Every structure is written in structure tokens, then in C-alpha cells.
Amino acid sequence: MNVLTTEGLSKAYKGHLAVNKVSMHIEQGDIYGFVGENGAGKTTLIRLVTGLSAPTEGTYSLYDIPYQSKDIYGVRRRTGAIVETATMNRYMTALENLRVQCNIVGVSKTDEELIQLLSRVGLDYEAIKKKKAGNFSLGMRQRLGIAMVMVSDADFVILDEPMNGLDPQGFIEIRETILRLNREGVTFLISSHILSELDKICTKIGVISHGELLEEIRMKDLHENARRRIVIDAMDPPAMYSALKTQGAFPEISESDGKIVVYGDADLNRIMQILVENSLSVRSVNTLEETIEDHYIRLLGRGRIA
């Protein structure tokens, strides 16, 4: 089952398309990384699917319920979202904040249930029970924010740039919280531009830029299809480029910053043979695999974006 499906979803502000015909698909159990530069349209799309803004065009559904249906209000209770920043009272304890949140969303929870929820997001109640939220680390406040949006037993959680401002320990805490909850059955949509962190937790990513969704790909497929490349730091880059281009049957070669890059499943032995035959000297030869950052940059460089 798809937890979230958008079809041709668009949002225009004063004639500018902030989101342009986006069709995305998040399956139950996914940790979906929504990747894009600042201003790409990530937050706008999140505001659309959480009901904070209305589409200009297109449609979306939650748990196969169209957003125009009267039944959407029921399934929205299964969705929790932190858009931009977690909202909480910094002069209250974690438990007090959860009690207030229960009143806001109209659910009844015992303190024991709320303490268990704190444990689910990695907060030790005994260690923090007297501590005000304003004295929490940023990572602790982010985890409390996740607990707050889950008081209605949400099993689809949307996090808008949850890694912003975190120190390395905060990254680890949020990552472990997301993975733990996902193992318990919670589906996530996480917008971020910190690709290295998404690579560690996501099952699928969607790349958006200038309001357009450029690609959706499962992480296992991305890693399986990652382009191998051989990077040669050449003493005479033009001569080396010419020799490899004319004498080798290589799928793709580029020259950049004095380095020659041979993409694909190239034969390293053949490359070395060409270098020897042409008396070409090198400083180094390295075989590399494509990272999520490489894939993202290459995707943006396909000429599909200005």
C-alpha cells in the first residue's frame, strides 16, 4: 500500500510554480528521503500533503484516500508532521508538553503511555523528568517533537529538515530514533539537503529541483547501479585524454581540473597499457564508486535544470 501518492501536484504563488506537476510514491515501511537545494519546493510540497496549503493543480492521497474525500480527516490522524521546526513550550517538561499535545489533538493518554512514547524516541524519562524542554539539546528537542506528533498513534511521520543545526551526536540520535521507529512500523518522509545522512537511513529518495521531481529511486537500486569510475591524475591531461579517447573502447571519458575520469566498467589493465604505450606519466590512479552526492550532482547536471 502507498502511504502517500501525489499525481501531477502543483502549487503556484503569484504565477511562480513552487511545485510543478510532482508525482511521488511512498510505500508503507519506507524511509523516503526528499532531496533538494534550498528553495527547491520541499517545504511547499510538505505543506500541501499535510493540508496546510491547497494545491493549484493535481491531487494526492493518504493511504489511498483522496485529499478531497471526507474520509481524509480520519487518515490524517495517522500522519504526524514537523514542518520547519518542532513546536513546544520550552518552559515545560517533556511530559507536560506531551499532555498539552494530547489536549490539542483530542486524544486521551495516560502518563504511563506518554512515558513509553518518550522511550520509543530514545528519551530517558527518569533522566529528564524535571528538565525543561528549553534546556534540552537540539537533538533531544527534535526527538521530543517526534514524540509530540505521534501522540495520536501516527504511523506516517513527515520531518522537514530534521538534521538542521545538529552536532554529530545529534545526527546519531535522530538517525537511531528514525531507524528504531521504522522497525516498529512507522513510515517516514524526510526532507533534507544533507545527503550523507539520508544515505545511511533511507530506503528510497526523490530528487526535486526548481519545483520538479527529477527522479525517484530505491537506495538499493542506486547503490547497485552506482557508476564505477577510474580517476587519473595526469601529468599531461590533454595527451592522456586524446590517447584514451582514440585507442580505448571506453563508454565515457571526461577531463576536469587536470584529472581524467573514465566511467563505467572500464578495463583498468587496458588503461595502463595505453599509458605505457604512449609514455604517459601519472601522479595517481584511483577506482571509485559513485556516492549519493555524486549521483545528485550528476542528475542536476543533465541539462534538465538551468
Q: Which of 151, 128, 129 is nearest to 139 (CA)?
A: 128
Residues 52 and 73 both lie in one domain: yes
Residues 65 and 183 both lie in one domain: yes
Q: Total domain count for the chain?
A: 2
Per-residue model confidence (pLDDT) at position 265: 76
**136 inside domain:** yes
Using one digit for the tens of pLDDT, what is the confidence trace for 263-292? 877 888 999 999 999 999 999 999 887 777
Query: What contacts 153, CB < 8 A, 6 or more positions away?
Result: 77, 78, 107
Four-CA torsion 203, 207, 208, 212, nearest 10 degrees:
-110
Residues 154 and 257 both lie in one domain: no
State what percent of residues in the chain have pLDDT above 70.
98
Q: How far is CA 93 from the centre of its chain?
A: 30
**203 inside domain:** yes
The Cα–Cα gap between 142 and 34 comes to 18
**300 inside domain:** no
pTM: 0.80
**295 inside domain:** no
- Say whether pLDDT at 305 is over 60: no
**251 inside domain:** yes
Q: Which of 181, 167, 116 is nearest to 139 (CA)?
A: 167
Among residues 206, 221, 236, the one where a domain terminates is 221
**161 inside domain:** yes
Per-residue model confidence (pLDDT) at position 302: 58
Mean pLDDT of the chain: 90
**132 inside domain:** yes
**Residue 276 buriedness (CB in 10 A; 0-12 / 13-18 / 19+):** exposed
Per-residue model confidence (pLDDT) at position 99: 97
- Say whether pLDDT at 304 is over 50: no
Among residues 200, 221, 242, the one where a domain terminates is 221
Residues 251 and 105 both lie in one domain: no
Query: Can you give the residue range of the structural domain that contains 232?
Result: 227-289
Residues 141 and 272 both lie in one domain: no
Residues 159 and 276 both lie in one domain: no
Residues 257 and 123 both lie in one domain: no
Residues 59 and 172 both lie in one domain: yes
CATH code, domain with 178? 3.40.50.300
Residues 12 and 155 both lie in one domain: yes
Using one digit for the tens of pLDDT, what is the confidence trace for 50-60? 999 999 999 99
Among residues 201, 221, 241, the one where a domain terminates is 221
Residues 176 and 254 both lie in one domain: no
The Cα–Cα gap between 43 and 277 comes to 55
Residues 198 and 247 both lie in one domain: no
Using one digit for the tens of pLDDT, what is the confidence trace for 133-178? 999 999 999 999 999 999 999 999 999 988 888 888 888 999 999 9
Residues 138 and 275 both lie in one domain: no
CA 59, 60, 61, 67 torsion-angle sign = negative
Using one digit for the tens of pLDDT, what is the confidence trace for 205-254? 999 999 999 999 999 888 776 777 889 998 999 999 999 988 877 878 88
CATH code, domain with 268? 3.30.70.100
**47 inside domain:** yes
